[in-house]
Each structure stands twice: as C-alpha cells, then as structure tokens.
Amino acid sequence: MMRRRELLSLASGTLLTGISRADNRPLRLVVPFPPGGATDITARVLTEPLARVLGQPAVVENRGGAGGSIGMAEVAKSAPDGLTLGVATLSTHGVNPAVYHKLPYDPVKDFAAVTEVVKAPGVLVVSQALPVRNYAEFIKYLKANPGKVTYASPGNGTIGHMWAELFKSTTNTFMVHIPYRGAGPAKNDLLAGQVGVYFDQVASSLPYIKSGQLRALAVSWSQRLEVLPDVPTYAELSLFSNNDPSWFGLVAPAATPRPTTARLQEAVAKVLKEPDVRARLAAQGLFPSGSRPDEFAAQIRKEIDKMQRISRFARIRLD
C-alpha cells in the first residue's frame, strides 16, 4: 500500500509541474530579445532560485528578432508540458498586437498566462537643452511651441514611441517623433541636446538623472519613487492613463494544464520573496509582482486594448 501511495504522489507531482522526473529535463525560459537587456536580466535572476524551488534545472534561451515575435512564436508552438516558458513583455503582449496586422502568434489564444514577474516604472525625461525645469513649464512650453519640440524613441512601434503618443493624446500637445535604431543612439542624441524628450524606464535613465544630464518630469508608478522623491507621478498630474508602468511576465503554451501554470506561479511567487532576488531586481529598477495566472491574463487583455487605442490615435502600423 505504501509503495502505491508513493507512486501516486510522484505522479501527482509530475502532473502539477509538467516535469518528467525520469529525465529531469530543464525548464526553458525563452527570452525573445538578445542578451543583456532588462528582459534577459530578469530571466537570469530567476533561473537559479527557480531551479532550486522546483527541484530541476532551469536555463535561459535567447531567441531575439522581430521585436520579440520570433521568440514568442517558438513558445507558442512548444509542447504544453510545463517545460517551456516565454518571458512576455508589454512589447510582445501589448504593443506588437496593436501595431502589426500579422503576428506569428496570438497573444491571448496561443498562451496560458502564468504570472507577472516584475513591474518597471517609466519616466519622462528631457534634455538639459530644453528650457524647462518641471512638468508645468514643459506643458506650457509645448503649448507655446507646437511641433517645435522633438522626442526620440528606440524605433517605430516601440514602447517609448507608444508612451509618447499616449502623452500627446492625453495632454493635447504635439511633438515631432524622431525614431532611432535602438535605445543607445536615441539616448546619445538626447544627452547631446539634438532631441528634447524621451520616454524611458526609470532604471535606464536614472544614472543620467542623478548626474544632472537629464531632467525627470514625471514617473509612472503608484507613488513617488524613493530614488526620485521630487518627481511627481502621472496620477498626481491627473494623467491617470499614463501612470501604468512596464512589466515582464511568464507565459506558457496555450494547452498547458491549469494545475501546471498554478504550480509554476506558486514557485515564482516564492522565489520573488527571497531577499537576494528582491535586491538583485531592485538594483535594476524592477519591483517584484508574482500575480495569479487569471490576474495576469486579464492584465494582458487590458494592455492590448490600451495599445490598440494608442495605435489608432497615432496611426501606427508596421506592416
């Protein structure tokens, strides 16, 4: 009888995790972007503690290209056995569906939501060459100089582009978009004063804000950030729809059993409570989340709707 109970227990554990205990195959975290970015860093912070909690290896695989579409398409087509997870972002599961007519994946139908891992506050920064010191002066300057202020983005259809167009729509202002091939060139011209405005994640711009090279005017967060206590949130400025931060989360192939996604969410939530993990994420300007699968699924649908509204307003289509 004891042997039978032990076998049932092992079978139950395998069902919940989707992991074959016989070969102990690794859990793959597919990052749909090249190594070194915030998405990649988040995944690599998770791998060791997640492997420890689940009792199996965990590895990161970078599958960059096409704004994250290549990697997410691979995840969508993977076996729904709990061994492959995609690191979803606001870009892959919010922006891309809004700006591309054809994607190699459906952000809702092709995935089972697992959990939001972290949130990343955004920030509106301006060049020191722009003659404004705070948000009120910035708005006044934009109103007095319609079309004379430029804003940079890492490229058409990027999150920075979408955030800027959302800002234009909610403030009834007009700035000229200057798209770059990546964040590096955009930031360089911003620092040089060649462009005036940039919509970024706090972590990326914070060193330049602290050094006085850039001026922060507003952040997208629930309250003022400890690292930028003098910078108001968009909500304080009555720009409530601009106050949503960016995020990274985990998704599995659509047919992954619910007990499996629940088990994985529980493991990630446990990992996110570890002090070392929280400290490593905080160093990147990231705030742990660990939401339930149903909460994350609802959030993805909300983000798609929001980005589609921005896309229609700014007429942003990339195919």
User: Which domains, and CATH codes, for the chain?
Assistant: 2-120+245-314 (3.40.190.150), 122-242 (3.40.190.10)
pLDDT surpassing 60 at residue 226: yes
Mind spelling out the 3-state secondary structure of 182-211? Answer: CHHHHHHHHHCCCCCEEEEEHHHHHHHHHC
Amino acid code (one letter) for 214 = L
pLDDT level of residue 23 (50, 70, 90 thresholds): low
Average pLDDT estimate for 17-45? 81
Q: Is the pLDDT of residue 116 over 50?
A: yes
d(CA 247, CA 11): 35
The predicted structure's pLDDT at residue 8: 38
* pLDDT tens, position by position, 155-184: 999 999 999 999 999 999 999 999 999 899
Q: What is the mean pLDDT of the segment spanning 295-302?
A: 97
At 5 the pLDDT is: 42
DSSP labels, 48-98: HHHHHHHTS-EEEEE---GGGHHHHHHHHTS-SSSSEEEEEEHIIIIIHHH
Mean pLDDT (whole number) for 252-263: 97
Q: pTM here? A: 0.87
Q: What integer pLDDT is reported at residue 283 of this predicted model?
A: 87
Q: Span 290-296, mean pLDDT?
A: 97
End-to-end CA distance of the chain: 62
Amino acid letter, 281: L
Q: pLDDT per residue over 87-102, tens digit each?
A: 999 999 999 999 998 8
- pLDDT of 101-111, one tens digit each? 889 999 999 99
C-alpha to C-alpha distance for 38 and 43, rounded to whole angstroms: 9
